[in-house]
Structure 1
């Protein structure tokens, strides 16, 4: 039962409502909020004066809901909750400042705030965060030292007012809000400090500007100005790539395209499980690299990763390599017998590359291993239990092989638990510049070189049809690092089939930067896709990006969408 006397005097507005919506109780605080004095609550339903209430739904579904209510004096959070009886519920009117205090005292929220505070103060540089209108909502501990203004006097101020009042001479935040893109400004503070400021816009899921993050580097000392500027450029140039792709680079995976990001996201989710993964894709797309990555991010990463190429060994050897054999099983074999790869992979991962090449008679034995988690070595009768995570890969169409009687359907469905199709390099050309950079770094370090590729040479890489996919590109880079005499790799150094590619753009500008070249390529893709599509939804489906992203990029490149789709 509810203590009526306690509710009547409680400083939070409270209404008790039954499942028919009839008001059973309303305390004085609530009457004041709703200006209900002098009115009779009996026989009055909640929707007569609070139409937005969801209390009946809350009671029926036994779920809590939170919404906003405002009168002419204050803003309140409506906390609607069912009572234990299931026949009535309570509506609490909690002032917004009290509600926010309650949230801020939550242990998880406090821990997150502490983590954010620690991260903001790691660099020693000034970090400020504003909302989408330019109002400062957070600064780090270096605020007073660099800006000459105390933190409590900085938070809550509009970025434009700081500029007007002379705290700073130029606001990076106002520039970001106007241009909707990252900006770099040179700034002088009220205390005479010179700052190099980079402002980053943060957009919500609908493409609206929600926050602006500013990182300010103190470059007051003239002697260190050039050094600090160079360091800042490097930091800003790699800021997003280093933050987002740190784990991917550690595992030698370069991911920039939308298609590969989705595959990487899927792999990250399934790696912790022991589910069998079937990697599909053309030769050279990186199936083994992906298999090793799955192992490295799984709980088995400290255990063995064993690979067997089912197409590289004669049929007579595959069985003994896979299952092993006991002493004296074969004439001419190891006299002490041999441990098979299945046993070697115990507690780890077994990668069955080119699974489509596995002979039919061994397919049935492998199926039994997958089903029973045990096997019997050749020459023995006692089975051995194993704990293995299986990953298989093939460039063949296993379904066609089943129809032709070359592959067992039951084994196919046992392997087809988590299928992952890795697209060919021609389907994800936006990855090419980053793969080129990645392999250049690897082979420059291996062969003690400092080779770079110019923009015209990079364009040839972009235009070339990579039949051998990533493996062909990798081998091409290694060959160029070893054979090109100078430090600059250009179009004339490339194999003739690449340099004389008829698809290579004829209007390439040699003097543009890599960033400009990528932007030009992105703009070209957008324009060609828009011309061949009737709606933005169709463009979205073809390019695998959100409509809001397409609209934003069209605005960035000044593409007239309506004109392109005439």
Structure 2
């Protein structure tokens, strides 16, 4: 019976169906109708005012009532209960109900405004309430969940695992990470709500979409990677700005070599630098050291294998123990390998190394360990080896003058620095660099005249950068005039064929000067080019122009001979 379901309620009340027809009642004072069955509750009152969904003001026989309207579940019927509160309680009750309504609205607003999904169930796992965020996270409208049991949602594949059921089983907060029906990775945290008896009344689950966090994490990693790249680029730029003052890089060939050097600098390969004398091999090594992590913990140790007497070279490289030979220091001496520990050892003129030392060097490179002269104890060394030579090591290997196994061990990363005559773009910048350097050093203000600059540009420079530096310094020191000319050049330079274009004694017209210079340029380029197409590319003009000029000056290329 409905009355049994109601039990004892300390207020007058009615039970109605969904349409307002009275099904049961309990009144301390009679109202107008004697038999309330089949009577609508609104017909019992002279005045009926619905103030809100839950509050009704009513009047009957000069008495005022406040009716509180609330759902009353009974055998799957949609019934409602109306509780009557008379005059003395009306104002206080209205105030309390308004406060309750306000709190409920505020709580609803808080739940609805949450970016995370909020999911509330009873102890049977039936869904009582959720918010709109769950639609964004799962792609399913929030009203679909209301009244659904979490077990049914798992069976339908909407949930992989019910956090609610685990909270009920474990009686504590439970957190799981799972992909939902929409394929998004989510973090679910179920929290139990206990009553005054310590029993679980409800379970509130917070659902956080991890896809946004994962995207942010991926973006953060990308930003960190970019930051590391920018840091490396800044280090490279710093290396360029702090590069050796003797280094001038203008030609494409040399820029590519230095850029490649910067790429391999963070690693520890054995490097073999090849090139003619004076091209700047030692300058390149210093640049590599500046860009290497080894510059922070070790030194750059340079050994010129051709400048040290052969009988002393072994002890210089590997050190010696006390008493190893007559004249040896009592305490012994560290060799260059030990001094270069944690740093870079640069062996210049490696082609001058005697064969018997090549065996010991090979072992030191391969095993990263050495034995001092006169010693028996093996010492570990952590070095990067860079070797350099102006000799043809392959030809030396064929003649038996250089060990083949050592050659291949050195030739891991070969770098060939082209001679100055093959990178003319560097000549003028170097010219002015050395002029400024020696003017500053000797406190003078010398200048080049036009013909001297042309001579410098077209001269072959067999001694390369070193020869150019030495010549500029010599001119600044020996020439009393402020303006340096071709007439001031040393005798060996005046014998060069190029000087015919800069004779101070001949009275040449502008056309004759141009033609003479043009012929000299062509003659010089022919030595390095095999066809008119190569000449055209080298001199940055068209092939028909080259053919016409060669005919004019009666010159031929290798392919024309």
Q: TM-score, normalised by structure 2?
A: 0.49
Q: TM-score, normalised by structure 1?
A: 0.49
